[in-house]
Chains A and B, each alone.
Chain A
Amino acid sequence: MSSVAQKSGFGATLWDWLTTVDHKKIGILYLLGGLFFFVLGGIEAMIIRLQLITPNNDLVSAGLFNDLITMHGTTMIFLAAMPILFGFMNAIMPLQIGARDVAFPFINSLGFWMFAFGGLFLNISWLFGEVPDAGWTSYASLSLHSPGHGVDFYAIGLQIAGGGTLMAGINFLVTIINMRAPGMTYMRMPLFTWTTFVASAMILFAFPPLTVGLFFLTFDRMFSGNFFDHTMGGNTIIWEHIFWIFGHPEVYILILPAFGIFSEIFSVFSRKRLFGYTAMVFATVLIGFLGFMVWAHHMFTVGLGPTANAIFAVATMAIAVPTGVKIFNWLLTIWGGSIKVTTPMLYALGFIPSFVMGGVTGVMQGAAPLDYQLHDSYFIVAHFHYVIVGGVVLAIFAGLHYWWPKMFGTILNEFLGKITFVFFFIGFHLTFLIQHWLGFWGMPRRVWTFMDGQGWNLANFISTIGALLMAIGFTVMVINIIMTTVKNERVGNDPWGDGRTLEWAIPSPPPFYNFPATPLIRGLDTLWVEKMEGSKEMITPAEPITDIHMPHGSIIPMLMSLGLFIAGFGAMFHQETSWGLGVLIFGLAFTFVTMATRSVKDDLGYYVTKEQILQDQENFKRGRN
């Protein structure tokens, strides 16, 4: 072990986590950070639903309600769903391709800290009492009109977090292209790695528009720009285009890794190779490509004209084809398999009907003239929660149970896991199914209250009850996590017994250098291949065990992000205070100095010796027996 890891005591442990560049630890940091924001966004959701439980309710004020919906959406998408998925990608993807770490461990750490400080910046708005309130889409006319610093927090917070996301995406791309173990050809990569790859490519192209849009917004609000001010020659529709050119791919950035997680789970717990692997890969790539071609279906009612609407309507429908291919391939994976209903599998099985329902309502909204009715009504609220909760969140919960042993070395309680599923799943359908009808009955979305006598009372009541059930389910999961961690019963390499991919061939959690010797990949589902051949070591090494070169940890990524965090406050307050400009310059200078330090200071890393590796292997073997 490295000298750092051997120190104990709270201070040393904290320092270790602040400076870590180990992909598995960063994965855990992403996961914990994401779960924290998930709880925050969940509380916001509960208040939203409680406010709407009866007509003319006054639990929260109109202004606070808009704060809540804006922060709920922004938090769940940028600070909960994406980071948790990044957590899995970080922790698992390098293991699946037989790599020692990601390509750029330092940038990996920087990506996490930018997310953490961006998320913190966004949520500090609650303490200032000036919270983003223009919706997670922050359409320009409203976001420019919004008083106070609320939308400033949105623009700068997302800018910082978005920068981190972009870095993470590039890092994953390079990792997958360059760091695959010998024999791990593209068409042998597990589906989760494939979807990470495509989602990362989408991040590469989708996040720069967001960056540009947020800069425009920042300049308009804080530096007297006029990009979106139509009275000065700007145009608000531009924001809508920029936002959705980012925003639509973003949905696929979230759902593709979810597809990847379910592909793994279906295959493992059916004890069967993924049906139509090649078709699945091409469907993933096709969805990623088409995801960039359909953004204007969020804007059918903007008045782009019938030709634009017709083109985007047909393009949108086209996405249903590769998605359908995926659904049927999953069905045929479990068909003829040997299905074991574990907690992760339960989520995967719950996902199929839920996501199909979310998918078909998406096609319905793709029919532009019909969308004129459904757009911005409760129907769309139902639709995107069906795909995001029924797809992404179920995948996150599934992945959490599935990979918990690999990440933490303990296994979550199966009984409590199933209880969680039952509450969450029933609650989810109770909350959102009825909302389709609320939309048909004329209820617009983002309303902080509604009048009596419009026929919406019962449906809203049912919806709120469903939300409570979801909250109960999630609470059980938190209890499960705490109990499992306290009990600390260690598990072996392959606790599910049916692992097929490389991560299950090494200890749980793996040693910090992952593989004593880089493995040789002998086919799709390489561990399954080894198992079927009765191989004892489960890994065919591609090289003899030698010293391993590893990078040192570094506090610089955190400091760089801290500088941007400080600069954000400077930018926000520079118009009304004398110190704002100074703080802005100081923050940026701080970041540049840390960057320069990193560039000038050579970090040659260190070597894990062969003896150490052999010693570790001995220990693992003894632990197993």
Chain B
Amino acid sequence: MIKGLKKWRLFSLLALFAVFMAGCGNEEISTFQPAGQVANDQFKLLLLASGIMLLVIIVVVIIYTVALFRFRRSKLGEDHIPEQVEGSHTLELIWTFIPIVLLLILAIPTVHYTYKLGDVKAMGAVDEEGNAENLVVDVTAKLYWWEFEYPDLGIVTAQELVVPTDEKVYFNLIAADVKHSFWIPSVGGKLDTNVENVNKFYLSFEKESDGLKDGVFYGKCAELCGPSHALMDFKVKTLPRDQFDSWVTAMQKTAEEPVVANADGEKVFSQSCIGCHAVSGVGESGAQGPNLASFGDRNRVAGFLEHDEENLKDWIRDTQKHKPGNTMPSFSKDQISDEDLDALAEYLMGLKVAK
């Protein structure tokens, strides 16, 4: 009876463990499903570390369990006085040196990957004609949104990072107000965006985002930055190089050939919004509000709401309700009438650069 109970316990424990391990999380955000070299290296290190650590846990648990079963007072009798052992030099040496060896096994790849992942020497490399060899993206984190400038391509976007697959993409990271942290879990570990200095690192994206649930990878702010820290999401679209190039060309064209899906909406925009938001994708970072040149292509409104006109209008009416502490003003009916808001929403949704 008792034995059966124990088996049942063991079984349910194993089943629970299997569920945990099998649960690899969602492909667009889980570190268990690495979608690039950096995340992959980190995942390999995770497997190695977990293996060593599991070994340690197992050894401890075995000694612990055996001791607990063998040396109970109920078995030995109330009056039993155990031998007062002082210690053992041999044992002390064993459990000092074996852990040192185990840690060395972990330390060597740790140091190797630390240097490998920190290598940004190729960042400024140029070919014979003076063109940059690698794509560089300047990321500016702001309360609570992300700005992505492509300095060599002369374009800027926000909230949705677009990158080519199968090449190293280098990042310059900085924060404009308070400290944030730039993290795309399935592509690679995070790096902080400090307020006073530019941090540099690279990521490589080896999976097209097209097949994913929302067609994008998820990016997060990983450093507490105020009330809406939890909502400071961004998305990552990874495209094959040729599609990326055509996206860049389309972005560059938005300066001369603006898309106007609703002329009334454009008017409202130029009265109420243009002070902070640009609709031309050509430019540099440093804007008051997110660049909206590719707004219609995006996956979310304000970085986290479902991408539809209803949410867009709700957002404009009351930004603080949705994202407390953000710096965009809300617009009442006196400022933008319902009709104007409809027109504005249609205009914004029409701002597309991808086909």
Q: Which residues of A contact B (CB under 8 A)?
A: 61-63, 65-66, 133-135, 139, 141-142, 145-146, 230, 235-237, 270-273, 275-279, 301-303, 305-306, 309-310, 313-314, 317-318, 320-321, 324-325, 327-329, 331-332, 334-341, 349, 352-353, 356-357, 360-361, 363-364, 366-373, 375-377, 434, 437, 440-442, 444-451, 453-455
Q: How far is the CA of A369 from the CA of B191 in the complex (A)?
A: 11
Closest Cβ of chain A to B102, distance in Å, is: 9
Q: Across the interface, which residues of B come within 8 angstroms of A331, CB to CB?
A: 60, 63-64, 67
Q: Across the interface, which residues of A come within 8 angstroms of B200, CB to CB?
A: 303
Contacting residue for B227 out of A314, A363, A448, CB 8 A: A448
- Is B183's beta carbon under 8 Å from chain A? yes
Binary interface encoding of chain B residues 38-55 relative to chain A, with 1 for a CB under 8 A from any of its CBs, else 0: 010110011001100100
Q: How far is the CA of A278 from the CA of B88 in the complex (A)?
A: 11
> Is A236 in contact with B228, judged by CB distance below 8 angstroms?
no
Q: Across the interface, which residues of A come within 8 angstroms of B227, CB to CB?
A: 61-63, 65-66, 133, 448
Contacting residue for A339 out of B53, B73, B195, CB 8 A: B73
> Is A338 in contact with B80, judged by CB distance below 8 angstroms?
yes
Q: How far is the CA of A585 from the CA of B277 in the complex (A)?
A: 50
> Is A370 in contact with B29, judged by CB distance below 8 angstroms?
no
Known: A276-B88, A334-B68. A369 touches B195 (CB 8 A): no
Closest Cβ of chain A to B82, distance in Å, is: 5
Binary interface encoding of chain B residues 8-52 relative to chain A, with 1 for a CB under 8 A from any of its CBs, else 0: 000000000000100101100111100000010110011001100
16 further A-B contacts with Cβ under 8 Å, apart from A271-B82, A455-B30, are A135-B224, A139-B179, A142-B179, A230-B195, A303-B197, A313-B110, A321-B96, A331-B64, A337-B82, A338-B80, A364-B46, A369-B42, A369-B45, A369-B117, A370-B42, A448-B230
> Is A321 in contact with B100, judged by CB distance below 8 angstroms?
yes
Contacting residue for B190 out of A309, A372, A446, CB 8 A: A372
> Is B196 in contact with A237, judged by CB distance below 8 angstroms?
yes
Contacting residue for A303 out of B45, B92, B191, B222, CB 8 A: B191
A326's nearest neighbour on chain B, judged by CB, is B95
- Is B151's beta carbon under 8 Å from chain A? no
Closest Cβ of chain A to B198, distance in Å, is: 9
Q: List the 8 closest pairs (A to B, CB-CB), nearest first.
A: A372-B189, A441-B25, A306-B118, A447-B230, A442-B185, A360-B53, A276-B87, A303-B199
Q: Across the interface, which residues of A come within 8 angstroms of B190, CB to CB?
A: 301, 372-373, 375-376
- Is B99's beta carbon under 8 Å from chain A? yes
Contacting residue for A338 out of B82, B117, B181, CB 8 A: B82
- Is B72's beta carbon under 8 Å from chain A? yes
18 contacts between A and B (CB under 8 A): A61-B324, A141-B178, A236-B194, A237-B196, A276-B86, A276-B88, A277-B86, A310-B114, A317-B103, A317-B110, A329-B87, A332-B87, A357-B57, A369-B113, A369-B116, A373-B39, A441-B23, A441-B30
Which of A301, A318, A449, A455 has the most chain B CB atoms inside 10 A of its CB?
A301
Q: Across the interface, which residues of B come within 8 angstroms of A133, CB to CB?
A: 227
Contacting residue for A442 out of B30, B49, B67, B96, CB 8 A: B30
- Is B271's beta carbon under 8 Å from chain A? no
Q: Across the interface, which residues of A come within 8 angstroms of B181, CB to CB?
A: 301, 376
Q: How far is the CA of A63 from the CA of B179 in the complex (A)?
A: 17
Binary interface encoding of chain B residues 181-213 relative to chain A, with 1 for a CB under 8 A from any of its CBs, else 0: 101011011111011110110000000000001
- Is B229's beta carbon under 8 Å from chain A? yes
Q: Across the interface, which residues of A come within 8 angstroms of B173, CB to CB?
A: 303
Known: A62-B227, A141-B178. A302 touches B192 (CB 8 A): yes
Contact residues of A: prevailing secondary structure: helix
Q: Across the interface, which residues of A come within 8 angstroms of B233, CB to CB?
A: 451
B184's nearest neighbour on chain A, judged by CB, is A442
Q: Across the interface, which residues of A come within 8 angstroms of B178, CB to CB?
A: 141-142, 145
Q: Across the interface, which residues of A come within 8 angstroms of B229, CB to CB?
A: 66, 444, 446-448
Q: Across the interface, which residues of A come within 8 angstroms of B188, CB to CB?
A: 372-373
Q: How far is the CA of A582 from the CA of B119 in the complex (A)?
A: 56
Closest Cβ of chain A to B143, distance in Å, is: 8
Contacting residue for A375 out of B61, B73, B222, CB 8 A: B222
- Is B302's beta carbon under 8 Å from chain A? no
- Is B250's beta carbon under 8 Å from chain A? no
Known: A61-B324, A301-B189, A339-B68. A327 touches B60 (CB 8 A): yes
Q: Across the interface, which residues of B come within 8 angstroms of A445, CB to CB?
A: 222, 224
Closest Cβ of chain A to B155, distance in Å, is: 26
Contacting residue for B192 out of A303, A328, A449, CB 8 A: A303
Closest Cβ of chain B to A111, distance in Å, is: 31
Q: Across the interface, which residues of A come within 8 angstroms of B72, CB to CB?
A: 338-341
> Is B103 in contact with A318, judged by CB distance below 8 angstroms?
yes
> Is B73 in contact with A340, judged by CB distance below 8 angstroms?
yes
> Is B57 in contact with A356, judged by CB distance below 8 angstroms?
yes
Q: Across the interface, which residues of A come within 8 angstroms of B304, CB to CB?
A: 451
> Is B26 in contact with A62, judged by CB distance below 8 angstroms?
no
Contacting residue for A369 out of B53, B71, B189, CB 8 A: B189
Q: Across the interface, which residues of A come within 8 angstroms of B23, CB to CB?
A: 437, 441, 455
Q: Across the interface, which residues of B come within 8 angstroms of A317, CB to CB?
A: 103, 106-107, 110
